[in-house]
Structure 1
């Protein structure tokens, strides 16, 4: 009768290597990053929604002296910039954050750059309307 092999390594030799956490296993920092990025995305969508609603009525002052010459010209190009600029900036910010977090492996730096990229859109829209 023979005994089954021992489940433990023998006391000599290198033994089993210690388990290492896999880099893709996530962790608390990745969860915090995802929550912060999600909250910032929700806030940006809310701001863009309010700006879009406001831009629908921004051309009402074009018949008065309160309208800016840039926004109230007949070409309509600046109205499109004011209406769609924040949404384009939000899309560019999302791409910046995703590429920076995945390829460069620097999620917090990418998030900061994404916030700056996004802030350019509403700033351009407000500058276009209020000049």
Structure 2
């Protein structure tokens, strides 16, 4: 009479420890969701500002136009593309802050401040 073969892998010895969750796992999800929502809001604001800046030059022939915006020295392009450049700079700030400095929440706050400079510059350019 023979015995059945042992189960493979053998069940002797200590088992492998269960994998531990990564520290800060749920916070990473919250950070990713919040960063995604902020990015979606920023893209929507950029779209609205870009659309508004397309028609902002219509008042340049009247007395309602801002001198700085209407003089043709390139401020119209700054007002139109400034928020987009600020969004790219903010995204780079957040990515570098997360990857290099490993401080995601500080990088996200700094990215929001960097981005806010673009729409503020555009609105200041148009409305003086």
TM-score range, shorter chain: 0.7 to 0.9
In the comparison of the two structures, how many residue pairs are matched?
123
1:40-71: per-residue Cα shift (whole Å, max 9, x none)? Answer: 00000000000000000000111111111100
Q: Which runs of 5+ in 2 are unaligned?
A: 1-5
Alignment correspondent of 1:46: 44
TM-score with structure 2 setting the length: 0.85
Equivalent of 2:111, from 111, 114, 124?
Answer: 114
In 2, the alpha carbon distance for the partners of 1:55 and 1:68 equals 13
Alignment correspondent of 1:21: 20
1:17 CA drift (Å): 9.1
Alignment correspondent of 2:3: none
TM-score with structure 1 setting the length: 0.83
Alignment correspondent of 1:102: 99
1:8 CA drift (Å): 3.2
Q: For residues 6 and 68 of structure 1, do their structure 2 counterparts lie closer, same or farther at Cα, with a shift above 3 Å needed?
A: closer
In 2, the alpha carbon distance for the partners of 1:42 and 1:61 equals 30
In 2, the alpha carbon distance for the partners of 1:128 and 1:51 equals 12
- Residue 7 (structure 1) aligned with residue 12 (structure 2): yes
Instruction: Give the 4+ runs in structure 1 shifted more than 4 A.
Output: 16-20
Q: CA RMSD in A?
A: 2.4
